[in-house]
Amino acid sequence: MLVNLNGKLVSKEDAKISVFDHGLLYGDGVFEGIRIYDGNIFRLKEHIDRLYNSAKFIMLDIGMSKEQMIKETIKVVSASKIRNGYIRLVVTRGVGDLGLDPRKCSKPTYFIIVDNIKLYPEEFYKKGLEITTVAIRRNISEALNPQVKSLNYLNNILAKIEAINHGSFEAVMINEQGYVTEATGDNIFIVKNGQLFTTPPYIGVLEGITRETVIEIANSLKIKTHEKIMTRYDLYTADECFLTGTAAEVIPVVKIDARVINDGTPGSITKKIIREFKKKTKILGVKVKYD
């Protein structure tokens, strides 16, 4: 494992930040989770674009160009020698005092961790997941907008805790109007009558890069995709269901709130998309030169 901390490459042991950093004190910051497949940083440009949009929303000036941030990311991946792994890129408001005022933070802190990924067990992909809707609501767009990938993940963590307490692996969060939003770290898709449906970003979900890739794949396979406001009814009556995210990639769902989806096994369109997604992971992105 290797860390780029404010431009310097340091070991895990030396990667330390101040207890006065507002990223820690208030969750005041933004982040990205990115995968490396066979030395290809998957959709790096899209992740950097989203990071800068998140920062812009919270009025955090990262203080360096996107091109520079891409260079710093490639630098630490190359030095790590990791060809298949995970990157966590974090930018915080930086060190301030004990008050909330972000103007007291003169310089943002950034760090880029490169680590080996702990893959989900293979049987999850073969057998599919059981998931549950939870009582905790997705926070509303007029509060902390879920399109912003901020360091405030307590909403999602509370949902995860609830799912775990129900003996379920993953939670689907509903919003205050009763509409389906997303899982705690994944977007959700259903298949109905051969077509794909996923929640529109304005309902209050992160615009996942895996989600976008799946929509592109569906287009190339001539599978119609719709952004649609959905309720639990749409989930329970779906022909197929899957989740998409950087860590999980595309993962089938076979049971939602004890309702069996498909025949309790991953559906054929889901499997097709998983196959196509695997191909894309090595093509789309930035290739790293390792020395």
Q: Which stretch binds ligand PXG (CB under 6 A): 1-9, 104-112, 178-186, 276-284?
A: 178-186
CA-to-CA distance for 194 and 266, rounded, in angstroms?
14
Neighbours of 82 (CB within 10 A): 21
Q: Judged by CB under 6 A, which of 85, 94, 185, 266 binds ligand PXG?
A: 185
Q: Which is nearer to ligand PXG, 47 or 95 (CB)?
A: 47
**What number of chain residues touch ligand PXG (CB under 6 A)?**
15
Amino acid at position 114, single letter? V
Is residue 23 close enough to count as binding ligand PXG by CB under 6 A? no
Q: Which is nearer to ligand PXG, 77 or 250 (CB)?
A: 250
Q: Which is nearer to ligand PXG, 86 or 128 (CB)?
A: 86
* Residue listed under structure tokens 């860590």: 247
Is residue 96 close enough to count as binding ligand PXG by CB under 6 A? no
Is residue 280 close enough to count as binding ligand PXG by CB under 6 A? no
Q: Which stretch binds ligand PXG (CB under 6 A): 21-29, 179-187, 231-239, 255-263?
A: 179-187
Residues sharing a CB contact under 8 Å with residue 196, sequence separation 6 or more, in sequence order: 189, 190, 214, 215, 218, 223, 224, 225, 226, 269
Residue 195 C-beta: closest distance to ligand PXG, Å: 21
Is residue 187 close enough to count as binding ligand PXG by CB under 6 A? yes
Residue 291 C-beta: closest distance to ligand PXG, Å: 29
Is residue 245 close enough to count as binding ligand PXG by CB under 6 A? yes
Q: Contact at 8 Å (CB) between 114 and 82?
A: yes
> Pairing between strand 109-115 and 85-92?
antiparallel
Q: Judged by CB under 6 A, which of 21, 170, 182, 240 binds ligand PXG?
A: 182
Q: Among all residues, which ones are annotated catalytic?
A: 149
Is residue 281 close enough to count as binding ligand PXG by CB under 6 A? no
Q: Which is nearer to ligand PXG, 109 or 187 (CB)?
A: 187
- One symbol per residue from 26 to 55: x for binding ligand PXG (CB under 6 A), - otherwise; what is it? -------x----------------------
